[in-house]
Amino acid sequence: MKESRNGSLLSIDKALGLFELIAISEEPQTSASLARQIGLSPAKTMGLLNLLTEKGFVEQNKSLGQYMIGVHGIRLSQSIVNNLSILKYAKPVMQSLEKEHDEAIYVAILKETDVVFLDMVDTEQSIKATPLIGQSFPFFTNAAGKVIMAFEPRDYLQRYLARLGRKRPEVNIEHFQNELLSIRKKGVAVDIGGLGENITSVAVAVKDYAGKVVGALTLIAPSFRILGERLEQEIIPSMIENAKMLSIQYGYAAIGV
């Protein structure tokens, strides 16, 4: 079993190596050239290339016997670029929001059914929530996930959950759809307790030039500091305005909003 596991890990490593070679190459590569570069036999190289081709990570020009990055590989690369760009563009906005409110500010993205907190600017308050950088949570448990999902097409949630089959989370579709509709109208999501007892999260969506949500700015703080007038009159308007400013950097133009 151990040898089999080690062999599988080696195959994955070599497959990733092949994908990287193809992705960074300026010209399409032949299987023979790739075999020499990766240090595998032609037969093993072909086996991995067939797998990568089947999964859409690479494509083959059959008439020339050459390989290039595939549609799924391009999407994966674009996803990585988008994640890096949101970290770059969001940081100054996050720093400004933290300075204004003296609360922890995060940027989060949606990965399948989970929200991942990529980066944060922490508060200097002595009482604060546990840092969440790198952690992921089901989208329906927190404000960041809800505000991102609120701007997806109306049938997206049902179609996505249907694809998950038995792995789908326990969500009351009708109730959740109504909550998402309210969030979409308000432009902000507020959640209490989803990220921890007595923790409140306030999230706003960041959109690109096509109006697609690329992530969420999220303020996370102990609930006792996010009360009444401060939430409604100070934090929410500020979060919405800063999300608009960040979206503009992605080319978003909110006509009539």
Let me know if residue 257 belongs to a domain.
no
Tell whether 136 and 201 lie within a shared domain.
yes
Q: What per-residue confidence (pLDDT) applies to 6?
A: 46
Tell whether 85 and 165 lie within a shared domain.
yes
- Number of domains forming the structure of the chain: 2
Q: Which domain covers residue 65, as residue numbers? A: 2-69
Helix (H, G, I), strand (E, B) or coil at 64: coil
Domain final residue pick, 10, 36, 69: 69
Q: What per-residue confidence (pLDDT) applies to 164?
A: 63
Q: What's the average pLDDT block by block, 10 residues per block, for the chain (257 residues)?
A: 46 77 79 89 90 86 85 64 72 95 94 84 91 87 94 74 66 82 95 93 93 93 92 96 93 64
Let me know if residue 141 belongs to a domain.
yes
Let me know if residue 75 belongs to a domain.
no
Q: What per-residue confidence (pLDDT) applies to 2?
A: 39
Let me know if residue 256 belongs to a domain.
no
- Give 24-50 as a DSSP string: H-SS-EEHHHHHHHHT--HHHHHHHHH
Tokens standing for residue 252: 């978003």
Domain final residue pick, 36, 69, 102: 69
Q: What per-residue confidence (pLDDT) applies to 81?
A: 53
Tell whether 208 and 128 lie within a shared domain.
yes
Tell whether 117 and 212 lie within a shared domain.
yes
Let me know if residue 150 belongs to a domain.
yes
Single-letter residue type at 94: M
Tell whether 228 and 172 lie within a shared domain.
yes
Q: What per-residue confidence (pLDDT) applies to 133?
A: 86
Tell whether 136 and 168 lie within a shared domain.
yes
Burial class (CB in 10 A: 0-12, 13-18, 19+), 209: exposed
Tell whether 8 and 114 lie within a shared domain.
no
CATH of the domain at 237: 3.30.450.40
Answer yes or no: are the C-beta atoms of 139 and 149 closer than 8 Å.
yes
> Nearest Cα to 207, choosing from 255, 249, 237?
249
**Which CA distances in Å does 85 have to 88, 214, 246?**
5, 10, 11
Tell whether 95 and 64 lie within a shared domain.
no
Domain final residue pick, 69, 94, 113: 69
Let me know if residue 178 belongs to a domain.
yes
Tell whether 59 and 91 lie within a shared domain.
no
- Residues in the chain, how many? 257
Tell whether 96 and 197 lie within a shared domain.
yes
CATH of the domain at 63: 1.10.10.10
Tell whether 63 and 99 lie within a shared domain.
no
Tell whether 64 and 85 lie within a shared domain.
no
pTM: 0.66
Q: What per-residue confidence (pLDDT) applies to 79?
A: 59
Let me know if residue 74 belongs to a domain.
no
Helix %, strand %, coil % for the chain, to 5?
Answer: 55, 20, 25
